[in-house]
A and B are shown apart, each in its own frame.
Chain A
Amino acid sequence: MGELTLDSVDIVNPDLYVQRGYPHAEWALLRREAPIYYYQRPDVDPFWAITRHADIVNVSRQPGLFKSVQILFVTVNDPGSPPPEEAILRQLLNMNPPEHGAYRGVVNRRFTPRSVQQLTSGIERITTEVLDDLAGREECDFVTEVSAKLPLAVIAEMFGIPRADWPLMFRLSNEMIGPSDPEYAGTDTVTATLERARMEFFQYFNGLVEDRRKNPRDDLSSALANGLVNGEPLPIFELMSYFALLIIAGNETTRNATTGGLDAFINNPDQWELLKRDPTLVPKAVEEIVRWTSPVIQFTRQATEDTELDGQKIREGDILALFYPSANRDESIFAAPNHFDISRYPNHHVAFGIGEHFCLGANLARLELQVMFRQLAERLESVELTAPIQRMRSSFVGGIKHMPVRLKVRSRT
């Protein structure tokens, strides 16, 4: 690879994410030389790349000036598959105040620290089962057999989805998040994959809604099916989209934080030894895992009027892309940002976003990761990669599809 220059950096080509992972060197160059950078390339609709922590916080805190839009992320245009003209889902991520707050209020109370705390014993039980299945085994795919299982089971139980249907939720989530990855899309185009997955999701959720309207239970499906926004039931498209959002977001991102977290420990054995010696570090370690992995690569915003950001003139209608993993390695916020340090404190990462759209499931994700890494620190006696990790083809979510490991998990004592 030649010398990096501003004119040649590539931060949106999904193939690069497959081959090399996150473009941290490119982001560092942008932070240093052009933190508000107008990104113009032949195969990309131009946008402003926002790479510093302070600017991402600043933009995120002004949803009136920088609104959320249908196109959630920027990527290279696929000539064979133009992006859909309408949003594939209409949900919290592309809503704005005051509608956004009203919709968020439908389920918000189920994700507060107090509500989530009540899920602890269930999360511990599922984690123990997942690790029990590995005791006595020598090799596994850590993604499909560990990382994916816990968050999928937790969100599915919260929705009251029967276990037999969990694999369907897993497959459809992958197709919605990774429609340009051949493992998930096969030979279908991005648009065709998204539309097919959406249709299957909606058919399934429609069944749940009909059931929970007749037989309400204490689950998320019932809360959504019978929920009100401004005194009215949710319109059907928004209702179906809400189900899809929570199922996808609930199982995709935590999966990647878990996988990326273990990968970080494999590459930093001193930190692994430290965690095993001192389990009280688990909450701090989880914050560092979330900072380090930053599973969401970017969300976009659109300027609603002409404005200025750090001296750059932004025009009404311009698209801005907020690169969270870059903010989380910002030298002006984090000491030694490229060190994985589970004792790091304070740790003001923005992996969950900040402001109006702060991750609804942050408390749940934290708890799942804390339980998982506490149990791993107790029971995982050894682990090593047997082949390189395989990344998803996406510049939106830093997905890890497979992580083949040789490992030894202690039987339950």
Chain B
Amino acid sequence: MRVVVDHSLCEGNGRCVEVASGIFELRDDDRSYVLEEQPPHSLRAKVDLAVSLCPRQAIKIIEG
């Protein structure tokens, strides 16, 4: 899987960083950045949680 954040949607609420701090990071432009674009499958649950918690639905998982 590949994780991407759509910066036209992200407004830096930071819920993803709360639940998956190793995968996402809030930077000075108040947007979330993906630190690990292809996280191991063991982190899948955390990524799914980040996707579901994002208020703006800015995080996408691309399978494959």
With A358-B13, A362-B13, A363-B14 given, is the CB distance from A115 to B55 under 8 Å?
Answer: no
Which B residues lie within 8 Å of A352 (CB)?
A: 55
**A363 to B49 CA separation, bound complex (whole angstroms):** 19
Instruction: Write the nearest CB–CB distance from B18 to chain A, whole angstroms.
Output: 9
A315 interface residue per 8 A CB criterion: no
Task: Kindly report which residue of chain B lies nearest to residue A114, judged by CB atoms.
Answer: B30
Which B residues lie within 8 Å of A356 (CB)?
A: 56
**CB contact between A113 and one of B12, B19, B57 (< 8 Å): that residue:** B12
Interface residues of B in 21-64 (CB under 8 A from A): 26, 28, 30, 49, 52-53, 55-57
**A113 to B10 CA separation, bound complex (whole angstroms):** 13
With A112-B12, A112-B14 given, is the CB distance from A358 to B56 under 8 Å?
Answer: yes
- Interface SS majority for chain B: loop
**A362 to B53 CA separation, bound complex (whole angstroms):** 13
Question: B-facing mask of A319-354, CB < 8 A → 1, else 0?
Answer: 000000000000000000000000000101000111
Instruction: Write the nearest CB–CB distance from A364 to chain B, whole angstroms.
Output: 12
With A114-B28, A114-B30, A115-B30 given, is the CB distance from A354 to B11 under 8 Å?
Answer: no
The answer to whether A112 and B13 have CB atoms under 8 Å apart is yes
**Chain A interface residue bracket vs B:** 20 to 34
The answer to whether B11 and A112 have CB atoms under 8 Å apart is yes
A104 interface residue per 8 A CB criterion: yes
The answer to whether B26 and A348 have CB atoms under 8 Å apart is no
Question: Which interface residue of B13, B28, B53, B57 has the most chain A CB atoms within 10 A?
Answer: B13
Question: Which interface residue of A114, A352, A353, A363 has the most chain B CB atoms within 10 A?
Answer: A114
Task: Kindly report which residue of chain A lies nearest to residue B55, judged by CB atoms.
Answer: A358
The answer to whether B13 and A109 have CB atoms under 8 Å apart is no
Which A residues lie within 8 Å of B52 (CB)?
A: 57
Instruction: Write the nearest CB–CB distance from A263 to chain B, whole angstroms.
Output: 27
A5 interface residue per 8 A CB criterion: no
The answer to whether A112 and B30 have CB atoms under 8 Å apart is yes
Instruction: Write the nearest CB–CB distance from B31 to chain A, whole angstroms.
Output: 9
**A125 to B39 CA separation, bound complex (whole angstroms):** 42
The answer to whether A113 and B11 have CB atoms under 8 Å apart is no
Instruction: Write the nearest CB–CB distance from A109 to chain B, whole angstroms.
Output: 6
With A112-B11, A114-B12, A362-B13 given, is the CB distance from A61 to B57 under 8 Å?
Answer: yes
Interface residues of A in 189-227 (CB under 8 A from B): none
Interface residues of A in 63-118 (CB under 8 A from B): 104-105, 108-109, 112-115
Instruction: Write the nearest CB–CB distance from A356 to chain B, whole angstroms.
Output: 7
**A354 to B49 CA separation, bound complex (whole angstroms):** 13
A355 interface residue per 8 A CB criterion: yes
Which B residues lie within 8 Å of A61 (CB)?
A: 57
**A8 to B42 CA separation, bound complex (whole angstroms):** 49
Instruction: Write the nearest CB–CB distance from B58 to chain A, whole angstroms.
Output: 11
**A105 to B10 CA separation, bound complex (whole angstroms):** 11
Instruction: Write the nearest CB–CB distance from B27 to chain A, whole angstroms.
Output: 9
Instruction: Write the nearest CB–CB distance from B33 to chain A, whole angstroms.
Output: 14
Which A residues lie within 8 Å of B56 (CB)?
A: 355-356, 358
With A363-B13, A363-B14 given, is the CB distance from A113 to B26 under 8 Å?
Answer: yes
Interface residues of A in 354-373 (CB under 8 A from B): 354-356, 358, 362-363
**A354 to B53 CA separation, bound complex (whole angstroms):** 8
With A355-B55, A358-B56 given, is the CB distance from A104 to B26 under 8 Å?
Answer: no
Instruction: Write the nearest CB–CB distance from A23 to chain B, whole angstroms.
Output: 27
Question: Which interface residue of B12, B19, B55, B56 has the most chain A CB atoms within 10 A?
Answer: B55
Which A residues lie within 8 Å of B53 (CB)?
A: 348, 354
Known: A346-B19, A355-B55. 9 other contacts (CB 8 A): A108-B11, A112-B12, A112-B14, A112-B30, A114-B26, A115-B30, A353-B55, A358-B55, A358-B56
Task: State the B residues within 8 Å of A (CB).
Answer: 11-14, 19, 26, 28, 30, 49, 52-53, 55-57
The 6 A-B residue pairs whose C-beta atoms are closest, nearest first, are A358-B55, A112-B12, A112-B30, A113-B14, A108-B11, A109-B30
14 contacts between A and B (CB under 8 A): A57-B52, A109-B12, A112-B12, A112-B13, A112-B26, A113-B14, A114-B12, A114-B28, A346-B19, A346-B49, A348-B53, A355-B55, A355-B56, A355-B57
